[in-house]
């Protein structure tokens, strides 16, 4: 047990937080602009940043389940502790599933996944338009669920910070 999350986990939390907001923002934007060069570039950026998030979530899960963790925030009733745990596990599950679904969907759609304009990654499955549509629907549902969890998470942290004033934010503070 420790009072704060380990330093590396704290740094990865904030790096990922920024990355996820970018990936979501680009994802929403690219689907709503006119087809063309900019749209293609945004798709490539979304896929590349999403794949970086996939690498980071694997590192993060390893750190999370192998390192020392602080105890649950003090004074939380058991039901609230269970909800917080569920949200945190939900984050890991969604952040693992989302990039894989995006990659699978792109492969099924027949679109190349080019990492940062440098490396074309292999297709995971053969082209299949009907399957692509299903995979993208799931990708979208998971993305909106993730947005919902982020809102819940941030509201929870703000409640601790400004109503309970229990210094919870420091447990995840980057420095």
Q: Which is nearer to ligand HEM, 17 or 128 (CB)?
A: 17
Q: What is the rounded distance in angstroms from the CA atom of residue 12 to the CA atom of residue 19?
A: 10
Which residue of 56, 77, 140, 148 would you call a contact of ligand HEM, by CB under 6 A?
Answer: 140
CB < 8 Å & 24+ apart, contacts of 159-166: 160/73, 164/75, 166/73, 166/74, 166/75
Q: Strand runs (DSSP E) across the chain, as ranges?
A: 113-115, 119-121
Nearest approach in angstroms of CB 62 to ligand HEM is 11
Report CA torsion sign: 137, 21, 11, 146.
negative
Which residue of 39, 56, 131, 172 would you call a contact of ligand HEM, by CB under 6 A?
Answer: 172
Q: Which is nearer to ligand HEM, 2 or 31 (CB)?
A: 31
> Is position 141 an interface residue for ligand HEM (rule: CB under 6 A)?
no
Query: What would the x/- binding string for ligand HEM be over residues 20 to 49, using CB under 6 A?
Result: xx-xx--xx--x--------------xx--
For β-strands 113-115 and 119-121, DSSP reports them as antiparallel
Phi and psi angles of residue 120, each rounded to the nearest 5 degrees, phi first? -85, 120
Q: What is the rounded distance in angstroms from the CA atom of residue 171 to the CA atom of residue 175?
A: 10
The site for ligand HEM, by CB under 6 A, has a size of: 40
Interaction site with ligand HEM (CB under 6 A): 9, 13, 17, 20-21, 23-24, 27-28, 31, 46-47, 50-51, 53, 64, 73, 88, 91, 95, 98-99, 102-103, 105-106, 113, 136, 139-140, 143, 146, 150, 153-154, 157, 168-169, 171-172
């Amino acid at each position: 047990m420790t009072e704060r999350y380990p330093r590396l986990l704290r740094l990865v939390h904030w790096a990922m937080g920024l990355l996820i907001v970018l990936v979501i923002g680009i994802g929403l934007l690219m689907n709503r602009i006119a087809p063309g060069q900019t749209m293609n570039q945004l798709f490539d950026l979304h896929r590349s940043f999403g794949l970086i998030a996939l690498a980071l979530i694997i590192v993060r899960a390893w750190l999370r389940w192998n390192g020392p963790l602080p105890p649950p925030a003090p004074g939380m009733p058991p039901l609230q502790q269970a909800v917080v745990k569920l949200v945190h596990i939900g984050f890991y599950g969604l952040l693992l599933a989302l990039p894989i679904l995006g990659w699978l969907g792109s492969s099924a759609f027949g679109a190349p996944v080019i990492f940062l304009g440098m490396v074309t990654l292999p297709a995971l499955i053969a082209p299949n338009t009907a399957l692509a549509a299903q995979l993208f629907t799931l990708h979208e549902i998971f993305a909106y669920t993730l947005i919902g969890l982020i809102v819940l998470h941030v509201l929870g942290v703000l409640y601790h910070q400004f109503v309970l004033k229990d210094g919870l934010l420091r447990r995840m503070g980057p420095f």
